[in-house]
């Protein structure tokens, strides 16, 4: 008999039919009632054991965490808590689980403990819910762009360019580390390396994505990116996934419209398709909040926060307008900001972004037209700026509880302006000749943005640490599995 997944059983409820289910034991009560879960959904299926006619040695092996199969009749349940159950006629043990040695126990365990046993944490209700939601969000993103005629472009993971200009990149080499070949002046001779030049893991697919957009029109990338930034925070990873659309013949307004539509779409998709998993995660957050002082508790529960994004048009304002609001805000005047806002040119911190979203506007916020000095070289220089206050056509989208979730801009399509900016920022033109060629031959206005996928998953699941929303987190000092 072919196995039937629990999600399908609970969706269709084919009562009075014989079925075969396989999964892991979540609980075993009174030597009779097995709570079985196969990972296909949040809910367990109750399997009722015929204790009197089952080998006692087999019953003894039914422990929390054991992998079993159960064959029997699906019937309406006589007990509370479930509509249907399986009256088992046959039980098979695939894998025993010794409760004395199994690190996980059928009780609440801290996220810190589970990070120490990250290879097993998928088996908990919380992390199973997180990764089912993560899958749904990834699918929703692909569906959103596909339905709008975008092409999915696979940009390189190994690259010679530094799209962000920050220099925090992982080096890729086949040279012998114990005896590096050197040039006459003592530098490493990358001419003897695999690629005949220095190469790194990518920090962004944007620059290559622009090449695709300036021929195919609308493209998006969705792939792994890497930052060799020594940050041990709850918001940073050394390896993470990025969604980066690039759109030809688009300006800053088009870019904002696309990003807002995408975020509302994926949040709505989660509400519609992940209700059971979101309920588990919401209940966890409610319990977590009870232990916190009132002023540190979340202003909204999880599903309300998602509806907040879906149901509210995003507030749009310039960086200059935001600075005026922040400078005159009570937290700034009373010295409650860790980073006081003194004037134009300040680099906004998460506390400022959250104030604008959660306190001032009480809706998602899109900030635009940032100072050119604090933004990347490829962002379009705004025209008509007053001297000393040059801005670029950039945008950041700010969400409750997290701050910046999306960063993007209209790209600088004018060759002369772009090369001037590169020279000012000491970015060698010869290294990016291929990028500059898009401005030499058939250039056009275009725009795009980047969304860190893990930040999105954090927002939707309510998980406080970014290491808890990626299966195998990579951060300073850790590259397990």
Q: What pLDDT is attached to residue 163?
A: 63
Task: Please tell me the distance from the alpha carbon of residue 141 to that of residue 222, in angstroms, as a whole number.
Answer: 9
Within 10 angstroms of residue 401's Cβ, the number of other Cβ atoms is 16
Phi, psi angles (nearest 5°) of residue 295: -75, -10
Residue 46 DSSP SS3: strand
Q: What is the CA radius of gyration of the chain?
A: 27
Q: What pLDDT is attached to residue 234?
A: 83
pTM equals 0.94
Q: Which helix (H) or strand (E) holds 20?
A: strand 17-29
**Of residues 207, 209, 200, 189, the one with CA closest to residue 167:** 200
Tokens 């604090």 sit on residue = 374
By DSSP bridging, strand 151-152 and strand 218-226 are: parallel
Task: Please tell me the distance from the alpha carbon of residue 335 to that of residue 332, in angstroms, as a whole number.
Answer: 5
Task: Please tell me the distance from the alpha carbon of residue 434 to that of residue 437, in angstroms, as a whole number.
Answer: 5
Order of strands across the sheet that contains 446-452 = 151-152, 218-226, 239-248, 446-452, 403-410, 391-399, 365-371, 315-318
Contact by Cβ (8 Å): 428, 372 = no
**Of residues 200, 122, 105, the one with CA closest to residue 162:** 200
Q: Which helix (H) or strand (E) holds 256?
A: helix 252-273
Q: Which CATH superfamily is domain 6-102 in?
A: Nucleic acid-binding proteins (2.40.50.140)
Give Dmax over CA atoms of the chain in angstroms: 88
By DSSP bridging, strand 365-371 and strand 315-318 are: parallel
Task: Please tell me the distance from the alpha carbon of residue 67 to that of residue 234, in angstroms, as a whole number.
Answer: 34
Task: Please tell me the distance from the alpha carbon of residue 97 to that of residue 223, in angstroms, as a whole number.
Answer: 36
Within 10 angstroms of residue 287's Cβ, the number of other Cβ atoms is 10
Q: Where are the alpha helices (DSSP H) in 80-220?
A: 111-116, 125-147, 206-216
Task: Please tell me the distance from the alpha carbon of residue 329 to that of residue 17, in angstroms, as a whole number.
Answer: 65
CA distances from 160 to 229, 296, 365, 419 (A): 18, 44, 35, 19
Q: What pLDDT is attached to residue 80?
A: 85
pLDDT < 70: residue spans in the chain: 163-167
Task: Give CATH for domain 123-168+203-468.
Answer: 3.30.930.10
Domain ranges for the chain: 6-102, 123-168+203-468
| 3-state per-residue secondary structure call for 196-237 | CCCEEECCCCHHHHHHHHHHHCEEEEEEEEECCCCCCCCCCC
Q: How far is CA 111 from the centre of its chain?
A: 18
Phi, psi angles (nearest 5°) of residue 54: -115, 140
**Of residues 395, 408, 432, 436, the one with CA closest to residue 162:** 432
The C-alpha torsion from 245 through 246 and 247 to 248, rounded to 10°, is: -170
Q: What pLDDT is attached to residue 164?
A: 62
Four-residue CA torsion sign, 38, 41, 42, 46: negative
By DSSP bridging, strand 239-248 and strand 315-318 are: unpaired
Task: Please tell me the distance from the alpha carbon of residue 140 to that of residue 193, in angstroms, as a whole number.
Answer: 41
Q: What pLDDT is attached to residue 167?
A: 60
Give the angle 405-241-434 at the CA atoms, nearest 5°.
100
165-187 burial, b if ≥16 CB within 10 A, otherwise e? eeeebeebeeeeeeeeeeeeeee
207-228 burial, b if ≥16 CB within 10 A, otherwise e? bbbbbbbbeebbbbbbbebbbe
Contacts of 47 (CB under 8 A, 6+ apart): 21, 33, 34, 35, 36, 70, 72, 85, 86, 88, 91
Tokens 């159950």 sit on residue = 85
């Amino acid at each position: 008999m072919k196995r039937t997944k629990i999600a399908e059983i609970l969706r269709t409820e084919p009562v009075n039919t014989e079925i075969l289910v396989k999964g892991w034991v979540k609980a075993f009560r009174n030597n009779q009632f097995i709570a079985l879960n196969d990972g296909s959904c949040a809910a367990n299926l109750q399997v009722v054991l015929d204790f009197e006619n089952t080998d006692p040695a087999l019953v003894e092996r039914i422990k929390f965490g054991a992998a079993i199969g159960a064959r029997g009749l699906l019937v309406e349940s006589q007990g509370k808590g479930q509509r249907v159950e399986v009256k088992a006629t046959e039980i098979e043990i695939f894998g025993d689980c010794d409760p004395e040695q199994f690190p996980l126990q059928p009780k609440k365990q801290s996220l810190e403990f589970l990070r120490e046993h990250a290879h097993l944490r998928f088996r908990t209700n919380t992390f199973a819910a997180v990764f089912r939601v993560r899958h749904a969000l990834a699918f929703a993103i692909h569906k959103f762009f596909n339905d709008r005629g975008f092409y999915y472009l696979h940009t390189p993971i190994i690259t010679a360019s530094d799209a962000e200009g920050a220099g925090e990149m992982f080096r890729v080499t086949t040279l012998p580390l114990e005896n590096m070949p050197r040039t006459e002046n003592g530098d490493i001779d990358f001419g003897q390396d695999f690629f005949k030049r220095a190469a790194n893991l990518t920090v962004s697919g944007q620059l290559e994505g622009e090449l695709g957009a300036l021929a195919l029109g609308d493209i998006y990338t969705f792939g792994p990116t890497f930052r060799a930034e020594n940050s041990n925070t709850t918001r940073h990873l050394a390896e993470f996934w990025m969604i980066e659309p690039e759109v030809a013949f688009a300006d800053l307004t088009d870019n904002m419209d696309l990003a807002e539509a995408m975020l509302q779409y994926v949040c709505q998709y989660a509400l519609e398709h992940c209700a059971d998993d979101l309920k588990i995660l919401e209940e966890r957050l409610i319990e977590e909040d009870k232990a916190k002082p009132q002023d540190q508790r979340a202003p909204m529960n999880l599903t309300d926060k998602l509806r907040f994004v879906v149901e509210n048009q995003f507030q749009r304002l310039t960086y200059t307008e935001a600075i005026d609001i922040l400078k005159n805000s009570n937290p700034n005047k009373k010295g409650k900001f860790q980073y006081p806002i003194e004037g134009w040119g300040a680099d906004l911190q998460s506390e400022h972004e959250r104030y604008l979203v959660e306190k001032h506007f009480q809706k998602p916020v899109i900030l635009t037209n940032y100072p050119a000095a604090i933004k990347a070289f490829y962002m379009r220089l705004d025209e008509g700026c007053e001297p000393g206050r040059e801005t670029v056509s950039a945008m950041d989208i700010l969400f409750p509880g997290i701050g910046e979730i999306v960063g993007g801009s209209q790209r600088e399509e004018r060759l002369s302006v772009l090369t001037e900016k590169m020279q000012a920022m000491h970015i060698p033109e010869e290294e990016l000749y291929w990028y500059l060629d898009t401005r030499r031959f058939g250039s056009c206005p275009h725009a795009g943005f980047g969304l860190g996928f893990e930040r999105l998953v954090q927002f939707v699941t309510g998980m406080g640490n970014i290491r808890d929303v990626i299966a195998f987190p990579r951060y300073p000092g850790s590259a397990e599995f």
